[in-house]
Amino acid sequence: MRSSLLRTVKKTIERYGLLSPGDRVLVAVSGGVDSMVLLEVLYLLRKEYDLRLWVAHYDHRWRKDSLKDALFVYRQAQEKGLPFIYGVAPVKEYARREKISLEMAGRELRYRFFERLYNLLDLQKIALAHHADDLAEEVLLKFIRGAGRRGLAGIPIKREAHLIRPLLLVTKEEIEVFAREWGLSWVEDESNQDVRFLRNRVRHLLIPFLERHFHRKVRENLKRTALILAEEEELIEDLARKAYEKALVRKPQIALRVPVLKDIPPALRRRVFWLALREAGVSLFRMRQSHLEALNNLISGKARGPVPLPGNFQAIRGPGFIRFVPKPALFSPFVLKIPGPGRYSLPIGGEVILEIKTRCSPRDIKLKLEKVSFPIIIRNRQPGDRIYWPAVGHKKLKKFFWEKGLTAEERDRIPIIEIDGRIVAIPGYYVHPEYKASSEEEGLCLSFQKIA
């Protein structure tokens, strides 16, 4: 029996290409039996695969004695001569601030910690201890929440080439047998029995009920279904990646071309959204079907946006594209009266410098002196604003900004220069032709510094 689990894990590693010789691997160890078996297995295979291992423990501070678990893992790493890294965060406070569940908050912070270490230590893999029973639970959870095909594929055995789950085809029972026969120690996390958590209700209540009253091999059947779907997902993911590259625009934020999205079948379009959201930094753990439906409405024109997304992000529709960007800080309307040349702080941040001279920077605004009268007004946009446009007479500022691809929030941050009730300039975008000074004549230069 001792070699049975090892044989299964080795077959899984070879079949799915989870490890390569010489890999530097971060092993996520909570101290529970699953992660202790994962650590032992990779330690036993380290010479065969020429692995360098790091042990990482993340303390969620859910329990007052959680530090004991961290010390236990530290001692286990010490015994094996492996480097130990400890991470901790007040998960409850984060969940409260972000208005998400404890489970989701813990998962977000935990994965963020592992990814930081992955980049900092120049690692090739992050090994996680999910097993076949976890896979069955995940499929049921996703089904309950109304996930699509992608969600029903459950937990991927490998994600983004560096997140690997060597125990995913091994059952909980096999793990516990291995742990006892190899004389391993582990700690019991009492929160795993707490049925206030949805996953625990699925684990301790729903699956046993299904096994008793419907089919005794529910876990095995769910695992088999998930693995079939996962293999098919590889093909769909490849198609989605090609469609994503075709639709992608960088402005510099992640943006997708609307005409391309409209031509993609809805099922593939959802995958393209996932790829864009992941690259933009949106928390995929928090994404729901309602978010995807809202994005589709943005594409079809049923909604104008912006569409709020998890983690203080939003999707913005522009002329021919949608962008995935962080929500900007809100700015209140402001009006600043400039009495004469000098240096003035702006309510939106930065400052403006007004000087009378002949040579101005190409980035500055240069106004004819005979057209200037003080006070000059600097403000942000107001309803009904119009600018003079030689070809059409006047144009709504709202339409002008739309044509420039600016979001509503970005428009609020742009200073408007007004003289005698007329908009004469917009830094970086517009200067009224009657007020624009030539490069040879002396004029009033307005230099805007660090507007952000």
What is the per-residue pLDDT for 452? Answer: 45
What is the per-residue pLDDT for 146? Answer: 65
Question: How is 10-71 classified by DSSP, letter by letter?
Answer: HHHHHHHT---TT-EEEEE--SSHHHHHHHHHHHHTHHHHT-EEEEEEEE---STTHHHHHH
In-domain check, residue 131:
yes
165 shares a domain with 300: no
169 shares a domain with 36: yes
Question: Helix (H, G, I), strand (E, B), or coil: what is residue 270?
Answer: helix
Binding residues are: 30-35
Question: Which of 215, 224, 230, 223 minimizes the C-alpha distance to 136?
Answer: 223
In-domain check, residue 196:
yes
In-domain check, residue 234:
no
In-domain check, residue 237:
no
What is the per-residue pLDDT for 260? Answer: 92
How far CA 403 is from CA of 175, 243, 317, 406, 416, in Å, comes to 60, 26, 12, 8, 17
How many domains would you assign to the chain? 3
355 shares a domain with 214: no
What is the per-residue pLDDT for 430? Answer: 93
413 shares a domain with 285: no
Please give the model's pTM, rounded to 2 decimal places: 0.60
Of 283, 304, 326, which residue sits at a domain end?
326
380 shares a domain with 320: no
152 shares a domain with 79: yes
Give the residue numbers spanning the domain of 381: 335-449
Q: How far apart are CA 387 and CA 425, in angstroms?
A: 9
394 shares a domain with 314: no
12 shares a domain with 50: yes
Question: Helix (H, G, I), strand (E, B), or coil: what is residue 337?
Answer: strand
Give, as one character, the DSSP assignment of residue 330: P
Q: Digits of tens for pLDDT over the chain (452 positions)?
A: 356 899 999 999 998 899 999 999 999 999 999 999 999 999 999 999 999 999 999 998 877 778 899 999 999 999 999 999 999 988 888 888 877 888 888 888 898 899 999 999 999 999 999 888 887 777 777 777 666 655 555 677 887 779 999 998 888 889 999 999 999 999 986 666 666 666 778 777 877 887 788 888 787 777 777 777 776 777 777 888 899 899 998 766 788 999 999 998 888 888 899 888 888 888 777 788 788 888 888 888 887 778 888 877 888 887 888 888 887 665 678 899 999 999 998 887 889 999 999 999 888 999 999 999 999 999 999 888 999 988 778 889 988 888 887 777 778 888 999 999 999 999 989 999 999 999 889 999 999 987 54
Q: Do β-strands 52-59 and 84-88 pair in parallel, antiparallel, or remain unpaired? A: parallel
In-domain check, residue 239:
no
157 shares a domain with 54: yes
Residue 443 burial by Cβ neighbours in a 10 Å radius (0-12, 13-18, 19+)? buried
In-domain check, residue 354:
yes
Binding residues for ATP are: 30-35
Q: Do β-strands 313-318 and 321-326 pair in parallel, antiparallel, or remain unpaired? A: antiparallel
